[in-house]
Amino acid sequence: MRGKALFACALTVATVLTTLQPAQAHGLIGKRFLPATLATDDPFVADELSLPTVSSIKVPGSGDGNRTWETDVSAEFSKRLSPDLGLSLLGTWKALNPDQGPSLTGFDNLEVTLKYVFFKDPEHETLVSAGVAWEVGGTGSKKVGSDSFDRVTPSLFFGKGFGDLPDSLEWFKPFALTGVFGYSLPTRVRTQTISIADDGSVDVARDLNPEIIKWGFSLQYSLQYLQSFVRDIGLPAPLNRMIPIVEFALQTPTDGKQAGHTTGTINPGIIWFGRYVQVGIEAQFPVNRATGKNVGVLAQLHFYLDDILPQVFTWTPFHGVLGPTQPR
């Protein structure tokens, strides 16, 4: 299985390297600004920091029905290595509060992602990127469910603004769509657990680690785009910098007992963006009973490091200092 995961990585990198085209900077494609999304990854590479991203939702338990209120607090640092290639590091602290039993806290596994924007069309506000995420097994705490094995997830990302629609559909021009499709491969097919009963008997369980399709998308409506490029309807601050958004964050195992059963959330919310920072908040509605029955919340504070201190954060090893990514 490790060989299969490495092959997927190599295939993704090969695709990137054979389709090189220059890409736009963080969040900008043509006239379109696409914000950093909260529940799904956006298609851009950038010098940025999400700190914190907080998610809190009640999730179903195992067969005994013991549900758990899960709170995740994460931080992600992203750095461009070139105008088109970016590296990010994601760490998450988890707090699990079950209906029955003690509360547990600890860090989840570290996740490292490499992403490359390989296609752009500013006129049609379109871009596509490829990436590989590596969840480093054993770097997190087992008591909060962190795996001891790695997961490798090759992914494709896209962004599309609808500013190229005809003028007869001008009110639809502020809409934009972003999405991601990834395939998560474990480096260990099964995890073996050995338990000893009170009578001294030994029980060996071998649980399958499934391959998982991780997919999602966001539908956005930019009030800033409406005001600036469609029709100025006189929205005052801060409304003129807001983007209503709905995100779909989903996953579907392809093997094992839950093969074909999708879980995830639908997240309506709002993002406000300024020159140096953006703030977002979303509700989390489970897509089905397998995901849960309670509505959660997701919030994020996001910093544009490439505009806050460009001389420091936009340095790259091969292209020098890239400078700020929004016009001064």
For the chain, the straight-line distance linking the first and the last C-alpha, in angstroms and rounded, comes to: 49
Interval 170-193 mean pLDDT? 92
Residues 146-158 have pLDDT tens digits of 999 999 999 999 9
Residues 64-97 have pLDDT tens digits of 567 899 999 999 999 999 999 999 999 999 999 9
pLDDT for 194 equals 66
pLDDT at residue 273 is higher than 50: yes
Residues 185-217 have pLDDT tens digits of 999 988 766 666 666 666 666 788 999 999 999
User: What rounded mean pLDDT belongs to the chain?
Assistant: 88
Q: Which residues contact 56 (CB under 8 A, 6 or more apart)?
A: 69, 70, 71, 72, 296, 297
Interval 36-52 mean pLDDT? 94
pLDDT-wise least confident of 4-13, 41-50, 126-135, 152-161:
4-13
pLDDT for 27 equals 81
Residues 276-307 have pLDDT tens digits of 999 999 999 999 999 999 999 999 999 999 99
136 in Cβ contact with 42 (< 8 Å): no
Q: pLDDT band for position 183 (50/70/90)?
A: very high
pLDDT for 103 equals 93
Q: What is the distance, to the nearest Å, from the Cα of residue 27 to the centroid of all Cα atoms in its chain?
A: 15
Q: What is the distance, to the nearest Å, from the Cα of residue 280 to the centroid of all Cα atoms in its chain?
A: 14
pLDDT for 66 equals 77
pLDDT for 238 equals 93
pLDDT for 202 equals 61
Higher pLDDT, 201 or 139: 139
Domain layout of the chain by residue ranges = 2-185+211-321
pTM of the complete model: 0.87
Give whole-number Cα distances, 23 to 60, 80, 93, 107, 157, in Å: 42, 12, 33, 35, 14
Percent of the chain whose pLDDT exceeds 90: 75
pLDDT-wise least confident of 105-114, 203-212, 271-280:
203-212
Fold (CATH) for 2-185+211-321: Porin (2.40.160)
Higher pLDDT, 114 or 318: 114
